[in-house]
């Protein structure tokens, strides 16, 4: 099966009332772990790469690894997504490479750190939407900012998404999915205590979904940071502080209110680190890298399969016939020509 449009995955998830995990990758083992989890659970999946990942792995290497994944797992619908594109040029380069989805993060300026003004966000996001939709590619935008910094991205400031502004933003940009800021953060150290309603503003998601019932919402910084993984890392020589992530129950609440894409990066990093440390401790005499890279792949598989079941996407890989990007281009063309206010047909 070729790489497919993320829009189609999210439309199908909306019909089925589940969420789709978007898992970050940097290398072959992570991709293999994700795809094995998708096969085990019969799940559609979004594989995403940050600018840092593209720099680390190399664009052509990363893209051809994903082509190999699509060939080796033909029964799994998989979208390749650019995470946190910092400017239109980054998104355009991903589209030209073969990514089937991009995120234009206009909530920050091109440096990926400075908070941008609203009109700038609208302008650059709309520019990417025009370019992407003409090629059948999905676009995710972001409104508001997350806390924390990960992979060089983040202002370190939290600005919750304004529901009124969200309605205007979606109308003016034409995005397929909206990443909302509800108090989550990038990285492992998201919260100093288990988050409650005063920390995690789930009511923002509920209100935006009420106003934009047909817009797919996205939760960034949605790793749960399991204490068991931190304990395993520290038991094998690590020095991680206690950390709190987003409880799975809160993510599931979000899914019931329109969240269709859930970004998970830190949990994968923790699972890999724990598995590699344990493999090295168990056989300190071993010098074949495959000893610990195999463990890394298995650690990734386990955590991704668990999240796929929790998000409800398990069992849905065969629910529909994937459409080509050319079919999606025609879908967007028809959408543009539709009368204002007309109901949009799902992809």
Helix (H, G, I), strand (E, B) or coil at 316: coil
Sign, CA torsion 97/103/107/112: negative
Closest by Cα among 329, 334, 327 to 129: 329
CB 100 within 8 A of CB 68: no
DSSP string, 132-170: HHTTT-EEEEEESB-BS-BTTB--S--BPPPHHHHHHHH
DSSP string, 40-108: HHT--EEEEE-HHHHHHH-HHHHHHHHHHHHHH-TTS-EEEEEEEE-SHHHHHHHHHHT-SEEEE-TTB
CB 233 within 8 A of CB 278: no
Structure tokens given for 65: 């690894």
Any idea which residue has 């190999």 for tokens?
68
What is the 3-class SS of 253-294, one letter each residue? HHHHCCEEEEEECHHHHHHHHHHHHHHHHHCCCCCCHHHHHH
Q: At what angle do helices 88-97 and 118-133 cross, to 10 degrees?
A: 20
The most distant pair of C-alpha atoms in the chain lies apart, rounded to whole Å, by 69
| DSSP symbol at 344 | P
- Whole-number Å distance between alpha carbons of 309 and 20: 10
- Whole-number Å distance between alpha carbons of 66 and 52: 17
Any idea which residue has 């449009």 for tokens?
5
For 175, how many CA atoms within 13 A lie in the half-sphere containing its CB? 33
> One of 83, 105, 151, 265 is an active-site residue; which one?
83
Q: Is 214 a catalytic residue?
A: no
Q: Which residues are catalytic?
A: 83
């Amino acid at each position: 099966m070729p790489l497919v449009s993320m829009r189609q995955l999210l439309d199908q998830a909306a019909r089925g009332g589940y969420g789709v995990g978007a898992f970050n990758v940097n290398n072959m083992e992570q991709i293999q772990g994700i795809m094995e989890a998708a096969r085990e659970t019969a799940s559609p999946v979004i594989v995403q790469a940050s600018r840092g990942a593209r720099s680390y792995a190399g664009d052509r290497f990363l893209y051809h690894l994903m082509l190999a994944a699509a060939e080796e797992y033909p029964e799994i619908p998989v979208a390749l997504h650019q995470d946190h594109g910092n400017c239109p040029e980054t998104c355009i380069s991903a589209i030209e490479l073969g990514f089937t989805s991009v995120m234009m993060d206009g909530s920050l300026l091109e440096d990926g750190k400075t908070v941008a003004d609203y009109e700038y966000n609208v302008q650059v996001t709309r520019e990417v939407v025009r370019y992407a939709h003409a090629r059948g590619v999905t676009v995710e935008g972001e409104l508001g900012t997350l806390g924390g910094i990960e992979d060089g991205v983040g202002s370190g400031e939290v600005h919750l998404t304004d529901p009124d502004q969200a309605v205007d933003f979606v109308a003016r940009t034409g995005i397929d999915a909206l990443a909302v800021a509800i108090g989550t953060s990038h990285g492992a150290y998201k919260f100093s205590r288990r988050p409650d309603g005063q920390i995690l503003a789930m009511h923002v998601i509920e209100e935006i979904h009420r106003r934009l019932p047909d817009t797919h919402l996205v939760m960034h910084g949605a790793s749960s940071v399991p204490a068991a993984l931190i304990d395993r890392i520290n038991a094998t020589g690590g020095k991680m502080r206690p950390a709190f992530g987003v409880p799975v129950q809160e993510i599931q609440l979000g899914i019931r209110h329109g969240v269709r894409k859930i970004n998970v990066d830190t949990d994968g990093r923790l699972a890999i680190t724990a598995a590699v440390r344990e493999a090295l401790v168990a056989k300190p005499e071993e010098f074949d890298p495959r000893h610990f890279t195999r463990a890394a792949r298995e650690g990734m598989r386990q955590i991704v399969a668990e999240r796929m079941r929790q998000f409800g996407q398990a069992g849905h890989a065969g629910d529909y016939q994937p459409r080509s990007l050319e079919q999606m281009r025609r879908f967007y063309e028809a959408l543009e020509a539709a009368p204002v206010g007309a109901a949009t047909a799902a992809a």
